[in-house]
């Protein structure tokens, strides 16, 4: 696999996790100390993510560092399973909610249902 493909796959996984956490690009950029444009470049694979930044991203997005490197030979343009696609849709819709109190309430409902 080419370096460009590796960067794209890692970027897609960052985006997936960020959306799953309901985090905006600018929020992640602030945590990383980079611009929104830089996060976009990471997520599209245009720029390589340094190891130290990837460690912070993994901790911030509540995933193990190895998640970004697993099965890199598989093309992951879109989530494969119905569950993965649904999770991505939920995360994308959640991220669109502007009211933080609604986000907190929805998160509590989901936590309760997940038990």
Q: What is the pLDDT of residues 8-34, one digit of tens each?
A: 999 999 999 999 899 999 999 999 999
Question: In this predicted model, what pLDDT tens digit does every residue of 39-63 receive, in sequence order?
Answer: 999 999 999 999 999 999 999 999 9
The yes/no answer on whether domain 3-114 falls in CATH 1.10.260.40 is yes
- Contacts of residue 6, defined as CB under 8 A and 6 or more positions apart, other chains included, come to 72
What was the pLDDT predicted at 45? 93
What was the pLDDT predicted at 4? 84
Q: How buried is 101 (Cβ within 10 angstroms: 0-12 exposed, 13-18 middle, 19+ buried)?
A: exposed
- Confidence band, pLDDT 50/70/90 cuts, at residue 1: low
Question: In this predicted model, what pLDDT tens digit does every residue of 73-96 receive, in sequence order?
Answer: 544 455 567 887 787 778 778 878
| Helix or strand (DSSP H, E) at 80 | none
What was the pLDDT predicted at 98? 83
Distance CA 17, CA 57 (A): 9
| DSSP codes, 21-79 | TT--HHHHHHHHTS-HHHHHHHHHTSSPPPHHHHHHHHHHTT--GGGGTTTTTS--SS-
What was the pLDDT predicted at 87? 77
Average pLDDT, the chain: 86
Domain boundaries in the chain? 3-114
What was the pLDDT predicted at 74? 46
């Amino acid at each position: 696999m080419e370096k460009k493909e590796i960067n794209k796959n890692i970027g897609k996984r960052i985006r997936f996790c960020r959306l799953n956490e309901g985090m905006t690009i600018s929020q992640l950029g602030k945590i990383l100390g980079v611009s929104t444009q830089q996060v976009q470049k990471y997520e599209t694979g245009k720029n390589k993510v340094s190891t130290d930044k990837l460690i912070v991203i993994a901790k911030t997005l509540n995933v193990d560092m190895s998640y970004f490197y697993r099965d890199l030979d598989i093309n992951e343009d879109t989530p494969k399973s119905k569950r993965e696609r649904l999770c991505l849709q939920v995360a994308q819709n959640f991220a669109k909610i502007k009211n933080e109190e609604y986000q907190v309430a929805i998160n509590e409902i989901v936590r309760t249902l997940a038990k």
